[in-house]
Amino acid sequence: MFDDFTDERIDVGEVELRVRHAGRGPAVLLVHGHPRTGATWHRVAPRLVDAGFTVVCPDMRGYGRSGKAAVRPDHSQQSKRAVAADLTRLMATLGHRRFAVVGHDRGAYVALRLALDHPDVVDHLVVIDGVPISEALARCDATFARDWYHWFFFAQPDTPERVINADPDAWYATAGPERMGAANHREFRQAIHDPDTVRAMLEDYRAGLGVDREHEEADRRAGHSVRCPTLFLWSTGDDMERLYGDPLAIWRPWADDLRGHPIESGHHVAEENPDDLTAALRRFLR
């Protein structure tokens, strides 16, 4: 997994980030979702390197082997703004003044925030399997509350940690090593069995319902939008269309230059259909 990639830790200020990177050419930052690590991209990243890109795969702050910031009362230490600032500093340290950012699941919210807060460094934005947090909450109905109950459960104090840490494998029952890849699956299990990582991952959701929503709503009031070309991809086996009809309609007010289409896959598209995902990224990023 990640043969010929450099694997290191880089100090970005408040935390150190574990990051893998390789390649020569236009830079692409790949941002994972919950509860994965940067290893979720192990089938996509080498293909992009072979296609002529420089690829950077960090563990976000709080996740995997990256540092955990001290918890603040408003959970802003795990806000998408804080994570986006980390990643901007990471890319600058690696020598990338401009780059594309690709985010999946919770990483999609980080990618959006990075493009909004740092428009001078992001030249392409790709978001996968997610609409802005404020848009999801504005449309929250009984179906969303039932199917996405974990958003609200994770936001509760202390109880989610106790439940998850009692049996992480049962809570995060997911595809096995055959489907995920043995090394990726091993990293995933190491992460979910670390109580500090579990706490930080929950803080991601606590920030989501508070400061992250507030930041997005402030952007809309100010008329801010993503200025760079933006691609939205969604998995056919996920629930984007069931929840939102045409999910592109939700993204249009957020991006000046938007395109998008579905990909045949379950939710973890980088693991389940890396060929079609890589092909879509290559077409868009060129």
Q: At 151, which helix (H) or strand (E)?
A: helix 149-154
Other CB atoms within a 10 A radius of the CB of residue 239 amount to 15
Do residues 34 and 201 make contact, with C-beta atoms less than 8 angstroms apart? yes
Q: Are 269 and 104 in contact (CB under 8 A)?
A: yes
User: From the CB of residue 188, how many other CB atoms can be counted at a distance below 10 Å?
Assistant: 22
Structure tokens that stand for 76 in this block: 């802003």
**Distance from C-alpha of 258 to C-alpha of 94, rounded to nearest angstrom:** 29
Determine the Cα–Cα distance for residues 264 and 239; give it in Å rounded to an integer.
13
Hey, which residues are catalytic here?
105, 267
Tell the burial category of 209 from Cβ atoms under 10 Å away from its Cβ (0-12, 13-18, 19+). middle
Beta-sheet pairing, 27-31 with 16-22: unpaired
Helix 80-93 × helix 106-117 angle, to 10°: 70
With 0-12 / 13-18 / 19 or more C-beta atoms within 10 angstroms meaning exposed / middle / buried, residue 174 is: middle
